[in-house]
Structures are given as structure tokens and as C-alpha cells.
Amino acid sequence: MYETEYPQGASHKSRALLFDRAGQFICLGRIKPGKSVYHVTVGGTMESGETTEAALARELKEEIDATAVIGRAFLTVLDTTYHVALSLRLGPNPFTGPEFADRSLGRYSITRVPLSKAMNPEFDLQPVLLQDFFRDYGGAVLAEVKRLDGLTHQHR
């Protein structure tokens, strides 16, 4: 499995291009007072000593109470690595990370959409470059999701 460690003190983020078995893209809807809803991927800042995969597993649990198979790193932009991941389960207790405690920062919702909708500019996926990435590499991303699903079937 691909793992990357970053030097202590370096701030690096690990985020998920998260899909379910039906090929639906799972992300967070951000609802801030006075602003239009926009969408972001699940993930966050790595803690000291974590790999991108370990940080992402922790963030998936904290943010949406998800268990997932974390696949290949498909994209790195500045300080953020994006891994394709297959959601195995969304639990009943999302939004437990520290960033969810301050309600003045807005609310969150878990959103599932077809990849074709996530590519649409009206969906407002941030950062916008993810929509371009999905348009250019959506087939490869979905192939990785299928590969991950195949791995889970081998271990049953």
C-alpha cells in the first residue's frame, strides 16, 4: 500500500475522494450563515507521525463516522493529498471532530451524488480543481473504486 510520511511540524492534509459501492460520490455540504451551500471532501490535517492513510481513516471516523477502504493517492495539490476511498459503512454518529463544536462556523450535511453531478459547476465542489480532475480522470477514479470493492470481496 502506498504510504507517505511528512516531517514533524509540517502541516499536511489528507482528504478522501470517497465513493459508495453504487459509485456515488460522498462529500460534505457546508452551510454557512449568509452563504450559498458548497461541498468539500472529507479529511483534514495530519497529526504528528501519521501517514496520509492513517490520518484519512481518523478523519473519516471523526467527520462522518465512516469505515472505508483507502486506496491509492490520486492527486496532491500543494499541502493536500487526495486518496480514492470506498465507504464500507456510514455510522450513526457523524460530526464528532473538534471543528464541529463551534456552531457559529455553520453546519454540515453528508451528501451523496453521482460523479456526473459532482463535476457540474452548479454543485460548487471546492476546491474547483476537483471538478476538472473528475472530468479528466473520473474513469480512473471509478476503476479504483471497483478495484477496492473487489479487494473487500476477496476478504469475506
Total count of domains within the chain: 1
> For residue 30, is it within any domain?
yes
> For residue 146, is it within any domain?
yes
- Helices (H), ranges, the chain: 52-64, 115-118, 129-154
> For residue 20, is it within any domain?
yes
> For residue 3, is it within any domain?
no
Tell me the per-residue pLDDT of 14-58, one tens digit each, with 9 for 90 and over.
999 999 999 999 999 999 888 999 999 999 999 988 999 999 999
Indicate yes or no: pTM above 0.85. Answer: yes
Domain range for 22? 13-154
pLDDT at 9 over 70: no
Average pLDDT, the chain: 90
The predicted structure's pLDDT at residue 102:
83
Contact 18, 48 (CB under 8 A): no
| Residue type present at position 22 | A
Contact 74, 83 (CB under 8 A): yes
For residues 115-127, give the mean pLDDT.
Answer: 94
> For residue 109, is it within any domain?
yes
The predicted structure's pLDDT at residue 10:
55
Tell me the per-residue pLDDT of 134-146, one tens digit each, with 9 for 90 and over.
999 999 999 999 9
> For residue 36, is it within any domain?
yes
Q: How confident is the model at residue 125 (pLDDT cuts 50, 70, 90)?
A: very high
Say which CATH number the domain at 43 has.
Answer: 3.90.79.10
> For residue 6, is it within any domain?
no
Q: How many CB atoms lie under 10 A from the CB of residue 78?
A: 7
> For residue 5, is it within any domain?
no
pLDDT at 118 over 50: yes
